[in-house]
Structure 1
Amino acid sequence: MAEGKFSVIIVSWNVKAELELCLASLMRERNGEPGFTVTVVDNASADGTAAMVRQ
């Protein structure tokens, strides 16, 4: 798959656990291929979502 085929944009707010599962699923689906980008936009979550995404 060629790089830049599509982008996944996720807007989140206080959904750390769900977002962690979602990102893990996307990375499994990626399977080492550089075919898509993932952008997470955090809306000032208070549950540590932003810190989890930065890791």
Structure 2
Amino acid sequence: MLFSLQVYYRFNCFRSKTGFNCSDEFIIGIKNKYFERGILIKIYGKKVRNL
């Protein structure tokens, strides 16, 4: 193959005063011999409150 497609997925949760703030992150990267490019796509979820 001349180039490869790589997809990374991360799920982050941050604790805040109102509860947890969670976000989904997708990183799509195209890589070959000559160049390397990455696209970061962030999808923010709703805040989850403490019960």
TM-score grouping bracket, smaller chain normalisation: under 0.3
TM-score by length of 1: 0.25
Say which structure is richer in strand. Answer: 2
Larger Rg: 2
TM-score by length of 2: 0.26
Higher RCO (C-alpha under 8 Å, 6+ residues apart): 1
Say which structure is richer in helix. Answer: 1
